[in-house]
Amino acid sequence: MAIPGYRVGLACLAAAGSVALAVTLADPALAAAASPAASPAAHSSFPHYDHARHSDQIWGGYADTGARFTSISGSWTVPTLNCSAVPNSSVSPWIGIDGYDSDTVEQIGFDQDCENGVAGYYPWVEMYPADSIYFTDTVKAGDTITASVSVSGSSWTLTEKDTTRGWSKTFHETGSDQLSSAEAIVEDLGNGIGPVAPFGSVTFTGLTADGKPLASAGTVNSTNIERGNTPLTKNSSLSGGTFKLSWLHS
Torsion angle of C-alpha atoms 86, 88, 93, 99, degrees rounded to 10: -110
Instruction: Indicate the pTM of the whole model.
Output: 0.80
Residue 1 has pLDDT above 60, yes or no: no
29 three-class SS: helix
**What confidence tens digit (pLDDT) does each residue in 186-229 have?**
998 755 567 888 999 999 999 999 999 999 999 999 999 988 88
Q: What is the pLDDT of residue 55?
A: 62
Mean of pLDDT values over 27-54: 34
Q: Give dist(CA 190, CA 89) in Å, integer.
A: 9
Mean of pLDDT values over 64-72: 97
**What confidence tens digit (pLDDT) does each residue in 110-149 have?**
999 999 999 999 999 999 888 889 999 999 999 999 999 9
| Sequence-separated (6 or more) residues with CB below 8 Å from residue 109 | 92, 93, 94, 95, 96, 123, 124, 147, 160
**Structural domains of the chain ordered from first start:** 6-247 (2.60.120.700)
Residue 53 has pLDDT above 60, yes or no: no
User: How close are the terminal C-alpha atoms of the chain, in Å?
Assistant: 28
**What confidence tens digit (pLDDT) does each residue in 102-114 have?**
889 999 999 999 9
Q: What is the pLDDT of residue 38?
A: 33
Contact predicate 181/96, CB 8 Å: no
| Model confidence band, residue 243 (pLDDT cutoffs 50, 70, 90) | very high
